Structure 1
């Protein structure tokens, strides 16, 4: 019955989303772009695509940073248009998407505060999709105690922080551990939300989030080799909403080197292929490259369903 009422709240937004997807550059566009000799040539070619005139008011010579800023601005405007027209549960779903950017922004602000960096410099580096009204409360924090209170009280990420960190964790040595704990709590919460939604949302998003959880578990394990992070502490950083849970995560927690991580992946067909093709040789695709390609394919598959949002 929900399918019949889908268009009442979400039909317009799904149409927009599919339109945005159709506007992504095609292979033929990229073949033309590689022939461009200057950034102004690139600007001229993009005018014949859905990117239209987003650089029309930018004077020559163009800078790469200008193109990057304008692309990000275009993305944010389109996303916020979707969010402003959304009602629950879609509104909550879109909020969850912004939380990953908020985590990165808050970690950036925490790191900058601990190093006494100028607030203006830090804010300029924050991703606009991860901005929120209460960021001013973080700006004025000058000590770890004030920062801890600001994060817990004044940010949408407060529920994730409560069970992840304490005031004593806010030092330079623990920043990456805090980031991983936050992502663990975030991914598990997002997965649970999509699971409760059921239907197409669960079918599509749970697979994407499960892969992201497993990818983080693999990368955390590999990056921990040669560090002071104990196996027990490493295991506490693994998100538990992926396909590796529980046996694969237990095996990763015991791993001592890359080959043992690869042997764990061999028990999972989709991951075994990624490790098999990965290389550290110059010019060849690394494991993270293979992970990224697989993630892209999962997102492309999301559009194979009629009801996307």
Structure 2
């Protein structure tokens, strides 16, 4: 703000009329940024001074000159109501014991000068005249921020900035000068400068638990997007950034405290006084940080001599200074070593960077959750009521346009069919899934691939079923699940492909061109394990046709999905953290549900006979809450009585079985659909149980399970839409509310 810069010089004139600490501001102008034209200081800035002599600031006496001189200047700025806002080595000038500058000579009689430092470059300086107390409302959001490497935590968090912020900047400068290393910001870009600055602040303050929650609550920023929550896999509230590989990561310092600057022995060495000064200044909460004047008093530094009236200035100027100098000599602020001795840098820490910060890769659902929410929200109870009130499928088309599904059916001609609605819903889901996957990197990309593999299995079984039934490719295309489409399917779906001509090409595509090839090959080997010619030498494509035509496709599908589920579970467990916890729970429950499905659906069929029990039991996954004891008990059952006895120790699953017992009893009696109309199958109840389980996945953060839960919930929503459409066609809308499973229904 140019108005501020004009006032700054007037205030500097009042607190430093002889220009012993600051230059004179001759002019200010604006060219995209504010600029100042200042008087020349005959000296060398500290950045250049350090580069010219890397060991110069290993001498604690030189560090003392900087600390004392800058604190004197900052105390005057505080008195004037000015925040420098850009304190760094480049803006601090080392002035050797030389005659006064021209500006100082014009201001008054010559005074003998000693070696000192001056604060320059006030183009980012700000002042406050807008509140009852200084700086109450001013924050970095109003612009003028200087170098992020030296900015205070409150500046990065958008909190009010005061002269205490300059005290923080001085402490970082002293750390750099003494350690001989640059700020961590030299390794970052402008995009993540704030995050690295905060990580550096956490390190210097020794805050291993991250940013204190009390400070985060004061910040006007959306801290949920820029910090990890306290319950995340990494400990504490750490700043987040997207690294060069596009991976969201949390920044955690590798070392905390001043040991990295002064060495581990600093509390008992010559660096003790410097360490005490830094500890006092490096307070994360700006409201609790001492002012420059308070810090000078703690360290025993002499205060700046206030300007006196001209008549008495000459007679009284030297006396207070001699007294203060004597006091400082009696109690030095920083222990000064002998002239010949120079302290050494901590050898293990000389790596060119002040604070070494490590990035903890976190494929976080903070970002992914927002993407999912932006893509398509779930239907609300009001949306379901609107759909249930439709009299035709055209009415449903209009009702869906008012939801997040939008106009996805607008290009479909009339009359509209239930199958068309379902197909377009799945295509929309597949498009959104592919969009999400395009934003990912490993290992999340592989996780997304696992989700798609389940649908690939469905497509493979559908293609084989079509081949066995001599179906044309065009007919098969209508039944393809869009999520399970793979490259080789384009060949199979082409009009020139002879789907009745054998399985050689199908075999090659399944085993070579798809991720489910290993599952498929293992199944074929197991299916023909009894034949001597198979052995372990591998399966010839010419033998595939004979095996596939003899196998029950439902058993094949269950076997392939069992192999996929076990593989998926192993991958999720290898990720560790919340992903392993959340996905482990969901996949274990899904494994249990598959065990129950296989067991219940096998009742009253040949799979419940003694000769087929081995085939049925081979479909049970080898993990889950029922595994191994419950699975072992269920592997011996053959009727509903033995099933109930096996589920006795598992109250949740026993209750589920009792709810569906009437459904299977009516099937056993052969009374037809009319007898089962009032009952629910095991699939219906599992759908309802799964919805609650997948909803709970959104209650935790920082795990991959949110993607899996989102896909599953969207699939359930599509089933709801299809069911409503069927009820509309059959004019039985009174059954809608009893069958659909709402997603994220209001909780009482």
Q: Is the 8 A contact 1:46 1:52 kept in 2?
A: yes
Moved segments of 4+, more than 4 Å: 1-6, 8-11, 136-141
* Counterpart mapping for 1:204-223 below 5 A: 204-223=582-601
Q: Does 1:287 align with 2:646?
A: no
Change in Cα spacing, 1:287 to 1:39, as seen in structure 2 (3 Å) is same
Equivalent position to 1:227, from 577, 598, 606: 606
* Counterpart mapping for 1:132-143 below 5 A: 132-136=486-490, 142-143=501-502
What's the counterpart of residue 187 of structure 1?
565
Could you list the runs of 5+ residues in structure 2 that have no partner in the other structure? 1-231, 241-246, 250-362, 526-543, 664-675, 705-748
Equivalent position to 2:634, from 228, 252, 258: 252
Q: Is the 8 A contact 1:14 1:307 kept in 2?
A: no
Change in Cα spacing, 1:66 to 1:117, as seen in structure 2 (3 Å) is closer
* Counterpart mapping for 1:93-172 below 5 A: 93-136=447-490, 142-144=501-503, 146-166=505-525, 167=544, 169-172=547-550
Q: CA deviation at 1:188?
A: 0.3
Q: For CA contacts below 8 A with separation 6 or more, give which structure has more relative contact order.
A: 1
Equivalent position to 1:237, from 616, 619, 627: 619
Q: TM-score, normalised by structure 1?
A: 0.90
Q: Is the 8 A contact 1:255 1:261 kept in 2?
A: yes
Output the aligned Cα RMSD.
Answer: 2.4
What's the counterpart of residue 695 of structure 2?
300
Change in Cα spacing, 1:153 to 1:53, as seen in structure 2 (3 Å) is closer
More helix by share: 1
Q: CA deviation at 1:190?
A: 0.3
Whole-Å Cα distance in 2 between the matches of residues 67 and 289 of structure 1? Answer: 21
Q: Is the 8 A contact 2:599 2:634 kept in 1?
A: yes
Could you list the runs of 5+ residues in structure 1 that have no partner in the other structure? none
Whole-Å Cα distance in 2 between the matches of residues 61 and 234 of structure 1? Answer: 44
Bigger shift: 198-207 or 222-231? 222-231
What's the counterpart of residue 723 of structure 2?
none
More strand by share: 2
Bigger shift: 158-167 or 132-141? 132-141
**Over residues 232-282 of structure 1, what are the superposed CA-to-partner deviations in whole Å (9 max), with x where a residue is unaligned?**
222111111211111111111100112322332232232122223334242
Bigger shift: 199-208 or 264-273? 264-273
**Over residues 202-260 of structure 1, what are the superposed CA-to-partner deviations in whole Å (9 max), with x where a residue is unaligned?**
12211111122112212222233321561122211111121111111111110011232
Bigger shift: 296-305 or 25-34? 25-34
**Over residues 142-164 of structure 1, what are the superposed CA-to-partner deviations in whole Å (9 max), with x where a residue is unaligned?**
32455434422232211212322
* Counterpart mapping for 1:64-75 below 5 A: 64-75=418-429
Q: Does 1:200 align with 2:578?
A: yes
Q: Is the 8 A contact 1:161 1:182 kept in 2?
A: yes
* Counterpart mapping for 1:41-80 below 5 A: 41-80=395-434
SS at match of 2:382: helix
Q: TM-score, normalised by structure 2?
A: 0.39
Change in Cα spacing, 1:97 to 1:123, as seen in structure 2 (3 Å) is same
Q: CA deviation at 1:32?
A: 2.3
Bigger shift: 272-281 or 155-164? 272-281
Whole-Å Cα distance in 2 between the matches of residues 118 and 48 of structure 1? Answer: 37
User: If you compute each CA radius of gyration, which structure gives the higher value, 1 or 2?
Assistant: 2
Whole-Å Cα distance in 2 between the matches of residues 183 and 164 of structure 1? Answer: 11
Q: Is the 8 A contact 2:630 2:646 kept in 1?
A: yes
SS at match of 1:292: helix
Change in Cα spacing, 1:44 to 1:153, as seen in structure 2 (3 Å) is closer
Change in Cα spacing, 1:124 to 1:36, as seen in structure 2 (3 Å) is closer
Whole-Å Cα distance in 1 between the matches of residues 509 and 465 of structure 2? Answer: 14
Whole-Å Cα distance in 1 between the matches of residues 400 and 615 of structure 2? Answer: 48
